[in-house]
Amino acid sequence: MDDIRWFAPNRFCTLVVPPLRARGLSIALEGDAPARLAIAMDAQVAAAAYTYAARHRSVLIHYLWDLPPWRLGRGRHDWVWHVFGRYIRVPWVGRRYAERPGYYSRLRFVAVHAREVWVPSAHTAASVQQRLGVACRRVPYCFDSVRFTPASAPRVRTGLLTVSRLTSQKNHAAVLRAAARFEPKLPVRFIGSGPEKTALERLAVELGVSCTIESGLPDGDVVTAYRTAEVAVCPSRFEGFGLTPLEAIASRTPVVVSDIPPHREWLGTAPYFFTLDDDDGLVAAIGAARAGPGPEPDVLAGVTIDAAAERFRVGLMPYLG
């Protein structure tokens, strides 16, 4: 029997698996063989992980990254039961979750019935307690500290870089407005995909800002993008963890971030902060970042792969004996 059946939707959510295996834990990433403990590392796999844990009578730990407030709105969950390996849901009569009520209702069911719910930040812990009524353990994850490192030699740096999904809460339009206020105007590079792509392209044309939007880049190209950007800008209105500024700092790229709780939690004084909806403040922060030195990656010692793996080991061992 394995120690852990690890449910993850992507490679990022398995970064700590190799160092955990090196610490002596047997971990399966696929299959239905029994394990003493199951961990769901993302909302996408939470329902499958609960079904597995119920079938094998395994302890379940649910890692919950965030609860987007616009998806839950001011509604409440549907009633959900898990019977003979299937989820049964009865829609709530009245005000329901604003978006995907069935998905988030199942997510709440798993969180309520998991042995523990782990979260990456104090901000997520507070929102899960408030919205789902579930107490959490704060167990910060990591960035890919093997892949994102400073360049071995100085490089020519140009333009502003933003790496994230192209959605309204990521606030990308603010980057274009800021870029347009410099003389000459700064080029902007977005790496990501999403529904805001066309609107951003249109705004860039209106402002006369040179803008490229790319998606599906190989890992090495993303690393190079960080290492050759003059400033990385992370203007998001909402994050559960805030991965992009970690990757930028690890690359020693000056970084500007919105002043929201997850950006404050791990970044110390490494980035330049600006207040949301303050375009003057964003322009000033970008100007300061362009004039200043690159950040020192030492601030990220607590969120490397190895540091996160040790936190996970400590949290998992009481259930593995």
Instruction: List, in order of start, the domains of the chain with CATH numbers.
Output: 2-142+304-320 (3.40.50.2000), 160-301 (3.40.50.2000)
SS (H, E, C) the chain: CEEEEEECCCCHHHCCHHHHHHCCCCEECCCCCCEEEEEECCHHHHHHHHHHHHHHCCEEEEECCCCCHHHHCCCECCEEEEECCEEEEECCCCCECCCCHHHHHHHHHHHHHCCEEEECCHHHHHHHHHHHCCCCEECCCCCCCCCCCCCCCCCCCCCEEEECCCCHHHCCHHHHHHHCCCCCCCCEEEECCCCCHHHHHHHHHHHCCCEEEECCCCHHHHHHHHHHCCEEEECCCCCCCCHHHHHHHHCCCCEEEECCHHHHHHHCCCCEEECCCCHHHHHHHHHHHHHCCCCCHHHHHHHCHHHHHHHHHHHHHHHHC
Rounded to an integer, the average pLDDT of 73-85 is 94
Q: How confident is the model at residue 163 (pLDDT cuts 50, 70, 90)?
A: very high
Computed over every residue of the chain, the mean pLDDT equals 95
Q: How confident is the model at residue 274 (pLDDT cuts 50, 70, 90)?
A: very high
What is the structure's pLDDT at 279? 97
Q: How confident is the model at residue 208 (pLDDT cuts 50, 70, 90)?
A: very high
pLDDT at residue 247 greater than cutoff 80: yes
Rounded to an integer, the average pLDDT of 62-66 is 97
Rounded to an integer, the average pLDDT of 20-49 is 97
What is the structure's pLDDT at 321? 78
Q: How confident is the model at residue 86 (pLDDT cuts 50, 70, 90)?
A: very high
Q: How confident is the model at residue 134 (pLDDT cuts 50, 70, 90)?
A: very high
What is the structure's pLDDT at 164? 96
The residue whose two tokens read 């890992």 is: 219
pLDDT at residue 305 greater than cutoff 90: yes
Residue 154 exposed, middle or buried by CB count within 10 Å (0-12, 13-18, 19+):
exposed
Six-digit token string for 222: 């993303």
Q: How confident is the model at residue 154 (pLDDT cuts 50, 70, 90)?
A: confident
Angle, to 10 degrees, between the axis of helix 46-56 and the axis of helix 101-113? Answer: 40
Strands 160-163 and 231-234: parallel
What is the structure's pLDDT at 266? 83
pLDDT at residue 287 greater than cutoff 80: yes
pTM, entire model: 0.94
Rounded to an integer, the average pLDDT of 173-184 is 98
What is the structure's pLDDT at 93? 87
Q: How confident is the model at residue 43 (pLDDT cuts 50, 70, 90)?
A: very high
